[in-house]
Structure 1
Amino acid sequence: MKKIMEERYFKAPWGKVAMVSWGKPSGVPVLLVHGHMDTAATFIPLLEYLPDNYYYVGLDLPGHGKSDYFPAGVMPNQLHFIETLQLAIEHLRWERFIYISHSMGAILGIYFNAVYPGQISKIVNLDPGPPIYWFAFSKNLSMWFEALYNNYYENLNRITNENPKLHTHESAKRAVIRNRNLTEKQAEIILSRSIIPVDEEKIRLSWDVKMKHIGQPPLSKDFLFILMTNNSPPTLNLMAQGQEYVVSWGNEKGQPVLLVHGRQDSAATFLPLLEFLPRSHYYVALDFPGHGNSTPFPVGVALTRIHFVAALKEVVDHLQWRNFVYIAHSMGSEMGMLYNVLHPGRISKFILLDPVLAFQRLQLRNFPDFFELFYSNYYDNYDEHNNNNKVYKKEEAIKAVQKARGLNKYQAELVLSRNLQPVGNHIYRYIYRWFALLI
């Protein structure tokens, strides 16, 4: 049964807080709390699958969606949102309620339950990992302070006085799709509560630019554990399902061509080459698991090349290709040869770029040396390979890649275009997993 959405709001000391509700107020109360730079609309697809005998209320956090901004001045902090949640609960006159969150909303639920124990009866957190991961950097207080606070106040004038960028609806949608790796439908949902018309053609986004810089307490992992377990109601944490990310160019009806990158690289490595390839073909490039925008393999045993051949098979099956041209760089050459042995007749032509070093690894002559390099080394340094949290400023990352791989700046920027993940203001970590060094 399709649920009817109703708009509502309440007044906070700083302005209006917008909410939407679904269902009958007599139902079991459920609060829906979105993540960073999102809105209550993020729950719309989920609601169609939830039971009808509950009363669902989602709010737009201040500076998001249709809610007013926090006043300009000091840097907003995650704890400020706890006051917003409590004001919403008081407005709704709920004594106990179920809490469903996405991303940053999970952290807010942990704080709320610690400050107001007993009000939340159950918690369901959707993809809570990324915001919790940020606490790993709290142990380096100087880096944490630099990333969150110094950067905010050094740029305060720009942040508080910057004129909002104007878009057409189409350009705003393309920007959201590009920046957040969403489908067109997902981008439309995000924008449904985040657009302010300026004139007949132009719009601006309603997100408060200050919300890009949300502070948080520097909690140790031990104290965070206490917050998450003391007086905790029954909690279900659901992580996003892993995915392999592919990008495509050209005519979908053209001859299919699969582009496969090398170790610690991504689909972006083929961007310069595409300018010279015929436009009559259909090119699809993937990011291997643990590279670019694809989800890493689970942490555990040492990876082998066969794991990546399995990933290739998943991509080809998804594309429903029976025959295709295979273009690869470096390690991708090995993957193609192994794939062809396991699935003969599927690859019609090979083009291998710089395959020599990759093929040398296939020549197993000294088994003890092979075992030492690929297995003993992995398990002797297990924690380093699986839990490396080193972070960089962007220029530092570019210089490190230039030095390690003998690239010029343009080439290093190309490699990093799909391999850097922001973890704070102007602070990044490499996306590719360190255990990929030993495949």
Structure 2
Amino acid sequence: MEQQENVQPTFEEIQIPVPFGYVSAKWWGPRDKQPIIAIHGWQDNAGTFDPLIELLPKELSILCIDLPGHGRSSHIPPGIPYYLFWDGLTILRRIVRHYNWRNISIMGHSLGAAIGFLYAASYPDDTEMLISIDTVAPVVFNPAEIVKNTGPFLDRFFYYESLGTDKMPAYGYSDMIDLVMDGHHSTLTRKACETLMKRGMYPVKDNKYFFSRDTRLKVNRLALPTYETVLEFAKQIHCRYLMIKAVPGRVRDNWVLYKNVLDTIKESTNDFTYVEVEGSHHVHLNDAPLVAPYILNFLYKSDPSVK
């Protein structure tokens, strides 16, 4: 593989129309090429890929979207809960149809990886490749736990729905970054938090900031698929597949079940790659140089022009 020139890629801010407003995105690289669609994790935003993309060839075209309610994208209309995995699948298909793209390539982290999983399974003949970072599929819970938590989560949704901007606390810049670090239990570096908050907050008066994400996103466990359903989706994934697992990653994930899902994907596709890198759940953001070579090798294997 040839040594890369030290030329920083550039991006353009765009807005993609949707029925309830728009999806904001950062389009890196050439606009005359169909891009890899990059999808961030829960309560993150398109900025999560900044450090990684800066290490990739400037000739790559990559569209990093803000999911609804995240970053600079429109929020889901009032009165409607977020069904995170299905909302993401729907919005991804809307974007594909908007541009009339074919043979889609997806890169996702966490929630974004799960959305990519659902898309690749739902449109197996229209998905070229999927790069998943530290998540395989939608989270899997015991059915009894799903039933038990449905009522409390709905009531929590109504609580967050009742919070208008007049009830939302504003914070100074440093306090905002501290809150993000605390919320991730210090698994994100301060620099990584600052990168996310470039589009994860907005200024108000007196040098204070609000979070830009929709508070209703905190209700994140509605309409979850069963483990058996996830396995059936996995059987339909036939595209080229790269799984980058952070170690230890997010320790609360049930990797015994995810391992079974990965084994199913491995059986259903002829091009399966699994690698492990040392780091936390946001390894692509904290330690992008550990992740970039694996992605570049994966892309290079399929397209010799990527060097």
TM-score range, shorter chain: 0.7 to 0.9
Find the counterpart in structure 1 of residue 27 from structure 2: 21
User: Taking structure 1 as reference, are residues 226 and 86 closer, same or farther at Cα in structure 2, changes over 3 Å only?
Assistant: same
Q: How far apart, in 2, do the equivalents of 1:120 and 1:50 lie?
A: 22
Preserved CA contact (<8 Å) 2:117 2:130: no
Q: Mind listing any 5+ residue stretches in structure 1 that lack a counterpart?
A: 244-292, 300-382, 384-439
Q: How far apart, in 2, do the equivalents of 1:205 and 1:120 lie?
A: 34
Q: How far apart, in 1, do the equivalents of 2:222 and 2:95 lie?
A: 21
Q: CA deviation at 1:193?
A: 0.6
Find the counterpart in structure 1 of residue 104 from structure 2: 97
Task: Give aligned-pair identity as a percent.
Answer: 23
Q: CA deviation at 1:231?
A: 4.0
**Cα shift readout 1:364-388 (whole Å, capped 9, x = no counterpart):** xxxxxxxxxxxxxxxxxxx9xxxxx
Find the counterpart in structure 2 of residue 205 from structure 1: 211
Find the counterpart in structure 1 of residue 47 from structure 2: 41
**Cα shift readout 1:44-76 (whole Å, capped 9, x = no counterpart):** 011122233321001100000000100122321
Matched, 1:152 2:153: yes
- 1:47-196, aligned counterparts within 5 Å? 47-77=53-83, 78-128=85-135, 132=138, 134-135=139-140, 137-140=141-144, 143-147=145-149, 149-162=150-163, 163-180=167-184, 181=186, 182-196=188-202
Q: How far apart, in 1, do the equivalents of 2:75 and 2:19 lie?
A: 11
Q: How far apart, in 1, do the equivalents of 2:159 and 2:135 lie?
A: 31
User: Taking structure 1 as reference, are residues 81 and 124 closer, same or farther at Cα in structure 2, changes over 3 Å only?
Assistant: same
User: Taking structure 1 as reference, are residues 156 and 220 closer, same or farther at Cα in structure 2, changes over 3 Å only?
Assistant: closer
User: Taking structure 1 as reference, are residues 231 and 238 closer, same or farther at Cα in structure 2, changes over 3 Å only?
Assistant: closer
Q: Which amino acid aligns with 1:146?
A: K
Q: Give the TM-score, by structure 1 length.
A: 0.52
Q: CA deviation at 1:92?
A: 2.9
Preserved CA contact (<8 Å) 1:9 1:16: yes
Secondary structure of 1:50's counterpart equals coil
Q: CA deviation at 1:184?
A: 1.1
**Cα shift readout 1:169-219 (whole Å, capped 9, x = no counterpart):** 110001111221211100101101111211141110011011111345443
State the 4+ residue runs in structure 1 displaced beyond 6 angstroms. Answer: none
Identify which of 18, 31, 48 aligns with 1:12: 18
Q: CA deviation at 1:223?
A: 2.6
Secondary structure of 2:234's counterpart equals helix
Q: How far apart, in 2, do the equivalents of 1:176 and 1:67 lie?
A: 20
Find the counterpart in structure 2 of residue 337 from structure 1: none
Q: How far apart, in 1, do the equivalents of 2:236 and 2:106 lie?
A: 17
Q: Which amino acid aligns with 2:23?
A: V
Secondary structure of 2:225's counterpart equals coil
Secondary structure of 1:144's counterpart equals helix
Find the counterpart in structure 1 of residue 261 from structure 2: none
Secondary structure of 1:165's counterpart equals coil
Q: Of the two, which has the highest radius of gyration?
A: 1
Preserved CA contact (<8 Å) 1:28 1:54: no
User: Taking structure 1 as reference, are residues 156 and 35 closer, same or farther at Cα in structure 2, changes over 3 Å only?
Assistant: closer
Q: How far apart, in 2, do the equivalents of 1:186 and 1:2 lie?
A: 19
Q: CA deviation at 1:20?
A: 0.7
Q: Mind listing any 5+ residue stretches in structure 2 that lack a counterpart?
A: 1-6, 257-307
Secondary structure of 1:107's counterpart equals helix
Q: Give the TM-score, by structure 2 length.
A: 0.73
Q: Which amino acid aligns with 1:190?
A: L
